[in-house]
Chains A and B, each alone.
Chain A
Amino acid sequence: MSILAIALVAMAASIGAHLLACRRGLPHLTAYVASLIVGFMVTIGGLLLVVPHDATFLWSLPVALGLFGSWWFIFLNIVQAMESSLRIRILREIALAGGSLSTEALSARYSDSRLIGLRVSRLTESGAIRQRGDRLLVASRPLLFLARLFRLLKLMIIHRTSEFL
């Protein structure tokens, strides 16, 4: 149970680090990395303090890191969903309209064109894509790798490369 307690403390420290980084105006990615590193260090530090430095430590390490890592990933997804999830955006628009909204009004407030336009702007500002003349090119190899990986996973699990095919 001490491993569970260590992971919980690490998660609390991680959230605290994320909050602090955000309030200091650091970019999203930097805040996430800071929270991950702090949580990781607290996990390792907690284990070194509590668990005997023998085989028990080696067996406890993947458990503690597995707990903290999965919780941090869940936290990352929740926080990022509030930033960029389309479902959250739809729910927020309906909530702002008093809890109900027609489909037409929703489309008028937030359309696919606007969504893609925003994505292009963000990707361009971050340097992930760049414009050369009247053409767009992918400039971020990590993002391209991630996009291709998800396409492969789609093919393997749902047997198609897009939900719209």
Chain B
Amino acid sequence: MTVTVLGLLSPLLAVLIHALTFTWLPERVRFLAIPFFDAVALAAVGMALSSLGFTPTGSEWLLAGVLTLSLSFAYALILIGIVADSPTLALVNTIADYGAGGMPLSMLDEFVRAHPFLESRTVALLRSGVLRREGGLLVLRGKVGMGLRLGEAYRRLCRRGAVAG
């Protein structure tokens, strides 16, 4: 029971506090702050459980810690989708906003102009350090190439064709 309460309540608390304080956090640490909130939540819930006579053992702390980090990582992935517009969802929302009559095809160009996704993602990659600028060029950092190759290897195992994007 201790692991269940510690491992589920801690990430819930951490996520709630993080979501509520998100816009107040400096942009550079918004995502990096998640493990910090996890640690604080784990400590708080652990202390509360101990005060009630349910002191977690070492292995229970470990299991709860793994569960907390796992659920928080999943939250971080959802948060990326919230912070950065998904082209698909943005398109669906825009079409739906036109109501039952539908969106004129001619408005697609306006949608493209109002949603500069390529620029947004390029800037995000530069800010995160995955890309860097050298003169007029965008340059890939070495360690990212390995990740891409692993992903491509899995796609080849799955026999998936060329990515459409």
Contact = CB atoms under 8 A, between A and B. Distances in A.
Interface of A: 1, 3-4, 18-19, 22-23, 25, 31, 55, 59-60, 62-63, 66-67, 69-71, 73-74, 77-79, 81-84, 86-92, 94-95, 99-103, 106-107, 110-116, 118-120, 122-123, 128-129, 131-132, 134-138, 143-144, 146-148, 150-151, 153-154, 156-159, 162-164
Given A90-B118, A135-B102, A67 B139 contact: no
A110 B85 contact: no
Contacts of B8: 62-63, 66
Given A66-B70, A82-B154, A86-B117, A95 B83 contact: no
By secondary structure, the B interface counts as helix
Contact of B160 (A3, A4, A22, A148): A22
By secondary structure, the A interface counts as helix
B49 interface: no
A120 B90 contact: no
Contact of B91 (A55, A83, A123): A123
Contact of B102 (A77, A111, A132): A132
B136 interface: yes
B124 interface: yes
Contacts of B104: 134-135
Contacts of B74: 69-70, 73-74
A26 to B, nearest CB: 10
A59 to B, nearest CB: 5
Given A66-B71, A164-B114, A89 B165 contact: yes
22 contacts: A3-B63, A19-B157, A25-B159, A59-B4, A73-B74, A74-B70, A87-B125, A90-B122, A91-B131, A100-B134, A100-B139, A101-B137, A101-B138, A103-B138, A120-B91, A135-B98, A138-B96, A147-B93, A148-B93, A150-B82, A157-B22, A164-B114
B91 A163 contact: no
B49 to A, nearest CB: 13
B66 interface: yes
Contact of A22 (B82, B117, B134, B159): B159
B147 to A, nearest CB: 9
- Could you say which of A94, A101, A131 has the most chain B C-beta atoms within 10 Å of its C-beta? A94
